[in-house]
Amino acid sequence: MGRIIMGRITRFSNMVFMRTHGILAVFTLSAFLAAPACAQMGTSITTKSTRGGDGLSAQNVANAARSAAQGDQSQLHLLVFAAQHGNAVAQLYIAELYQRGDGVKQDYKRAAVWYRKSAEQKQPIADFHLGYLYYKGQGVPQDMAKAISWWRKGAALGNDQSQAQLGISYETGVGVKQDFLTAADWFRKAIVKNNVAAEVNLAVLYLNGQGVSRNPGKAAALFRDAAGRGSHQAANAMGVLYDTGQGVKRNYKSAAHWFKKAAVQGDTNAQTNLGLLYAQGKGVRQSDIKAAELFKKAADAGDSDAQTYLAGFYENGTGVKHDIFKAADLYKKAAAQGQPMAELYLARLYSQGSGVPQDDTKAFKWYREAAIQGSTPAEYYLGVAYRRGIGVKKDREKALYWMRKAAQNGDTNASDALRDMQNE
């Protein structure tokens, strides 16, 4: 099963998750965000107007917020009192408590109300979080234009999270016209304030040559620095660079070193990549058992690639006891997430009646799903299905279409089938 495959990058707030199975020349992007980390109590807040009519300082408010988050009702009442009397910092923390459900019942609408009040008093973190709520449609109607607007306000006030988020928006074309040059500019601004995620994202741009001249060496330097500051995503990226020889000299031992750093932090991409190195004996002593253990960790966390690799181990009895039923179950889980290799193998199991009841219709369905995603073997089998009427009504034109696609992608069986069909 294979090679390490570099693929998707997933983001949440100002963080980036890098998927790294395979040896591709560039990193690819995926345009979606997830929940932002809330501000650290008592830090990264604007100190101007830290006292409202309540007379409380920012530090007093931060202390009250910490206690309120732990369920201290007296401190929660103090925080609410301060917020109601115009204390912008208290308004920010009340909003965060409602957003997270810490010490209070989670309530996005109330969070949005208090973030807005705080933002109106120039608290840039409030701008960032309010933008996120508009992005997700939590407590407010989903509105990407408003999300961008609030992030712009936060960025203009120097908030690095908003700057990084704008960079991601321009990088992915979410809410704005895609513009890698502008994305790079926003990432650089956030990096000045030590935003690690912006550093990782800028590294991706240098690796791909998007908005900047392609420079794998510069990308490696940025990834290394971010990894040194605790980013498991960057550590995983360093593993990929050493595995593929991009920006650094190829070194499987170094690749394993970086994957291990990320894997122990729970990075499922790194766990899967490290498992592949153990399976192949690259940079580490070959061990199918360790490979299976790492795949299982990532698979249990829902990683579709790890589920597919582990399914293959169960199917073949590699590193684990042979269990075709567990293999089928894992293929199903991965296929449900759109993993093309799992779709292909699940189709084969349905075709054979192995681990699942024999069902040509379901086999056809999963071959089709895999073929749509570019799986050459699936394209060939889809051609066979249409040619012979297996799981679907016979259709010569569709059979020729899929056979040609597979043949163009180098499938010799498809080429042979095309020649036979021309003589029919």
Query: What's the pLDDT band for 398 if we cut at 50, 70, 90?
Result: very high
Question: What is the percent of the chain with per-residue pLDDT over 90, rounded to a whole number?
Answer: 76
Give tens-digit pLDDT for 142-176: 999 999 999 999 999 999 999 999 999 999 999 99
Query: What's the pLDDT band for 55 if we cut at 50, 70, 90?
Result: low
Dihedral pair phi/psi, residue 122, rounded to 5°: 70, 35
Point out the least confidently predicted range of 17-31, 104-118, 132-146, 151-165.
17-31
Of 125, 158, 191, which one is at a domain's C-terminal end? 158
At residue 30, does pLDDT exceed 80?
no
At residue 388, does pLDDT exceed 90?
yes
Give tens-digit pLDDT for 65-90: 788 778 878 888 888 888 898 989 88
Question: Which pLDDT belongs to residue 54?
Answer: 55
- Asked whether residue 13 is assigned to any structural domain, the reply reads no
9 or 372, greater pLDDT = 372
- Asked whether residue 199 is assigned to any structural domain, the reply reads no
Residues 6+ apart with CB under 8 A from 65: 41, 42, 75, 79, 90, 93, 94, 96, 97
Mean per-residue pLDDT over the chain, rounded: 87
Of 132, 158, 184, which one is at a domain's C-terminal end? 158
Region label for 369, one of left (φ > 0), alpha (ψ between -120 and 50) or beta (otherwise) = alpha
- Asked whether residue 70 is assigned to any structural domain, the reply reads yes
CATH number at residue 389: 1.25.40.10
Residue given tokens 């925080």 in the structure block: 79
Q: What's the rounded Cα separation, in Å, for the pair 309 and 291?
A: 9
Other C-beta atoms closer than 10 Å to the C-beta of 40 total: 10
Question: Which pLDDT belongs to residue 251?
Answer: 98
Q: What's the rounded Cα separation, in Å, for the pair 121 and 47?
A: 11
Give tens-digit pLDDT for 261-275: 999 999 999 999 999
- Asked whether residue 307 is assigned to any structural domain, the reply reads no
Average pLDDT over residues 246-255: 97
- Asked whether residue 257 is assigned to any structural domain, the reply reads no
Question: Which pLDDT belongs to residue 46?
Answer: 47
- Asked whether residue 85 is assigned to any structural domain, the reply reads yes
Of 104, 125, 158, which one is at a domain's C-terminal end? 158
Q: Which domain holds residue 116?
A: 45-158
Average pLDDT over residues 394-423: 94
- Asked whether residue 327 is assigned to any structural domain, the reply reads no
At residue 348, does pLDDT exceed 80?
yes
18 or 419, greater pLDDT = 419
Q: Number of structural domains, the chain? A: 2
- Asked whether residue 304 is assigned to any structural domain, the reply reads no
